[in-house]
């Protein structure tokens, strides 16, 4: 499945918005887009352009946890292309997550030759939830046509269009002869859900996204960072007291090892244990990083993990409810007083629009179980009567705190 912006671009492609005369013999640049999720649209679009006769077509891969070599946001355009200039630039993503959007757009304009075309697709204020895409909720900006026109002040606006639901807007600009400039002063900020000065300090809320842990997370390209899930500012609130202690941290699900490297750097005296089912996961072992290949749906395998006796446990594995509950019910007991258990990606319980029924393979989903545990913790009476009452009552009475955040829940043991 294509991302919203990509699906709209593909629709416009089929409507003939990209003319052969505009592509034939031209140097083209595709910025952002997906490279592994869904239909890998960014390289697909590159192939489209080359088949139409483009002389050259380059891609800038923006932040992608699948690729350590990916760039962060639009402010990395100059670093990505060097001194190259292009006749056609297509921006598939990046407008929403680039903090210094004025600088990012400036670099896009500088990369376009005079008379060249810049095609931009962006989300509007009508789309501010995670209803269609989980990570969209953590964006910074939303746009209307006037915003885009003001931002691309060194260009003339040639054409605009929007999706039928008004959630996506697209614009085509022609690069002018003057300097790249931007006249935009304010944009719709998703965090405050109102317009904010783009040159002012961005809303920071209670949890600082410029936390040490988030900076390290971005460096190592973990999807826990503020470019994707935006967990780390909250996690640091609970974990910073362990930073210089000789702890043991257990992470279930390690993907390509990015978060293991992040924990290794953030906790300089910790032993980091990662667990994954995939063959070859041992390649992510390093100094103080230990990798265990096992099946987290296997009861005996999960029981054996208790021998690690960690102070911190993070479940970022399959996100299948039965696996989440098995780990929580089995491993919470092994935490010491003050230990922390983090259960990630509750969206598989809460967002059926995006996650198929196979994730929710238990009588109660993970969020419902967590909410029942929270009730026991708050009430201080072990009176749950559900199918998982024994586990819910035990954990609820052992928990000092149950904190639900966007996408995750944190348990702290008494």
Domain residue limits, the chain? 4-197, 212-413
Q: What is d(CA 12, CA 231) in angstroms, rounded to the nearest whole number? A: 35
Place of tokens 């929270």: 374
Q: 156 phi and psi, to 5 degrees?
A: -105, 140
Measure the CA–CA gap between 74 and 56, rounded to whole angstroms. 21
Exposed/middle/buried for 276, CB within 10 Å: 0-12, 13-18, 19+?
buried
**Euclidean distance between the first and the last CA atom of the chain, given in angstroms as a whole number:** 44
Predicted local confidence at residue 208, as pLDDT:
65
Beta carbons of 329 and 265 less than 8 angstroms apart: no
Taking residue 215's Cβ as centre, other Cβ atoms within 10 Å add up to: 16
Residue showing tokens 């100059």: 78
| Contact assessment for residue 106 and residue 75, using Cβ atoms and an 8 Å cutoff | no
Residue 37, SS3 per DSSP = coil
| pLDDT tens per residue across all 414 residues of the chain | 567 778 888 888 788 888 888 899 999 999 998 887 555 888 889 998 999 999 999 999 999 988 888 999 999 999 999 999 999 999 999 999 999 999 999 999 999 999 999 999 999 999 787 777 777 778 999 999 999 999 999 999 999 999 999 999 999 999 999 889 889 999 999 988 999 999 988 877 888 667 999 999 999 999 999 999 999 999 999 999 999 999 999 999 999 999 999 999 999 999 999 999 999 999 999 999 999 999 999 999 999 999 999 999 999 999 999 999 999 999 999 999 999 999 999 999 999 888 999 999 999 999 999 999 999 999 999 999 999 999 999 999 999 999 999 899 999 999
Q: What are phi and psi of 170, to 5 degrees?
A: -130, 150
Question: Does this chain's domain 4-197 share its CATH topology with 212-413?
Answer: yes
Q: Which one, of 345, 338, 344, lies nearest residue 412 by Cα?
A: 338
Size (the chain), residues: 414
Sheet holding 56-60, edge to edge: 56-60, 27-31, 86-91, 112-123, 168-175, 155-162
The predicted pLDDT at position 209 comes to: 64
13 touches 41 (CB < 8 A): no
Residue keyed to tokens 């470019």: 227
- Cα separations (Å) of 74 from 49, 58, 77? 21, 15, 5
Q: Are 102 and 184 in contact (CB under 8 A)?
A: yes
* Assigned token pair, 40: 């890998």
Residue 342 has a pLDDT of 98
User: CATH assignment of 4-197, given 3.40.50.300, 3.40.50.150, 3.50.30.30, 3.10.580.10?
Assistant: 3.40.50.150
Nearest-CA neighbor of 251 among 337, 327, 321? Answer: 327
Q: What are the start-end ranges of the H helices in 212-365?
A: 212-220, 232-239, 258-266, 299-304, 321-331, 347-350
What is d(CA 310, CA 317) in angstroms, rounded to the nearest whole number?
A: 17
What does DSSP assign to residue 134? Answer: G
Architecture, CATH, for domain 212-413: 3-Layer(aba) Sandwich (3.40)
List strand residue ranges (DSSP E) for 104-214, in order. Answer: 112-123, 141-142, 155-162, 168-175, 186-189, 194-197
The whole-number pLDDT of residue 302 equals 98
Distances (CA, A) of 64 to 7, 8, 256: 19, 21, 12
């Amino acid at each position: 499945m294509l991302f919203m912006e990509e699906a709209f671009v593909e629709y416009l492609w089929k409507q003939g918005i990209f003319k052969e005369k505009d592509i034939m013999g031209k140097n083209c640049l595709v910025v952002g887009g997906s490279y592994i999720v869904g239909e890998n649209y960014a390289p697909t679009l590159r192939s489209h352009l080359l088949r139409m006769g483009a002389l050259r077509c380059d891609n800038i891969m923006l932040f992608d946890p699948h690729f350590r070599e990916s760039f962060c946001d639009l402010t990395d355009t100059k670093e990505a292309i060097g001194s190259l200039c292009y006749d056609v630039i297509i921006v598939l993503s990046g407008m929403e997550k680039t903090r210094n959007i004025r600088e990012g757009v400036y670099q896009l304009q500088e990369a376009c030759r005079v008379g060249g075309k810049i095609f931009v697709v962006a989300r509007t204020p009508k789309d501010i939830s995670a209803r269609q895409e989980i990570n969209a909720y953590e964006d910074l900006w939303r746009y209307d046509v006037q915003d885009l026109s003001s931002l691309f002040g060194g260009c003339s606006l040639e054409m605009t269009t929007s999706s039928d639901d008004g959630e996506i807007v697209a614009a085509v600009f022609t690069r002018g002869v003057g300097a790249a400039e931007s006249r935009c002063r304010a944009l719709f900020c998703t965090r405050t859900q109102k317009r904010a000065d783009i040159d002012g300090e961005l809303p920071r809320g209670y949890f600082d996204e410029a936390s040490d842990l988030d900076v390290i997370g971005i460096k190592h390209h973990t999807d826990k960072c503020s470019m994707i899930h935006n967990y780390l500012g909250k996690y640091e609130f609970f974990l910073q007291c362990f930073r210089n202690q000789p702890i043991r941290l257990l992470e279930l699900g390690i993907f390509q090892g990015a978060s293991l490297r992040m924990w290794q750097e953030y906790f300089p005296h910790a032993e980091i244990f990662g667990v994954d089912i995939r063959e070859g996961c041992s390649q992510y072992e390093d100094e103080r990083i230990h990798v265990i290949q096992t099946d987290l749906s296997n009861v005996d395998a999960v029981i054996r993990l208790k021998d690690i006796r960690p102070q911190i446990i993070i479940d970022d594995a399959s996100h299948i409810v039965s696996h989440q509950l098995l780990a929580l019910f089995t491993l919470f007991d092994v935490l010491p007083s003050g230990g922390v258990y983090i259960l990630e990606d509750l969206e598989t319980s809460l967002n059926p629009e995006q996650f198929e029924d196979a994730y929710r393979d238990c009588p109660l989903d993970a969020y419902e179980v967590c909410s029942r545990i929270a009730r026991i913790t708050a009430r201080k009476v072990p009176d749950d009567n559900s199918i998982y009452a024994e586990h819910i009552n035990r954990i609820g009475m052992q928990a000092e705190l149950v904190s639900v955040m966007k996408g995750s829940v944190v348990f702290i043991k008494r």
